[in-house]
Structure 1
Amino acid sequence: MDESKIDQEAMGRLAKALVFICGADHPTTVALKAAAESGSARDIKAARAAFLKLKSGERKAALAMIGD
C-alpha cells in the first residue's frame, strides 16, 4: 500500500496495528482512529500527516501488519 494513498478504511486497520506498535495513547493512533470513525476530510488529512511523521520502521511495520 502506498503511504500517501491511505483511505478511511485503511486508517481503521492502521490504527489497530499502531496500538500494538506505538500504543493506544500515541497521537498518531488517536488521529487514525478519529479519522476512521468520523470520515471528515479534516481528520483524514491530519491522520495522514501524523502517519507520515512516524519513523520509517513504524510505518513499514504497520503497513506490513495490515497487508498490501
Structure 2
Amino acid sequence: MGTVTVLTGKAVFTDPQTVRVDTAEGTVVVTGENILINTGSQPVLPDIPGLRTSSAASSTDAFNDVLGAIVRQD
C-alpha cells in the first residue's frame, strides 16, 4: 500500500497529476495518479422531502468508498 502525506496550506492544481501546495515551511509539489484533497468541510443535506431516504451520496460517502477501495488493494 502507498503512503499518505498530510500537507496543510493553499493548494493549486498545475496539471491533472500535479498539485503545488504553499505551506508554512515552503512550497511542496506533489505528483501522482490519484491525489486526494480533503478540505475538512462537512456536507449538508437540504431538507428536501424524500432526500434522506434516497440513494443520494454526499462527498463523505464518496470519500469513504474511495478510502475503502484503497485499503482493500493490499
TM-score, normalized by length of structure 2? 0.31
Q: Report the structure, 1 or 2, having the larger strand content.
A: 2
Higher CA-based Rg: 2
Which structure is higher in helix share?
1
Return the structure number with greater relative CO, CA threshold 8 A, min gap 6. Answer: 1
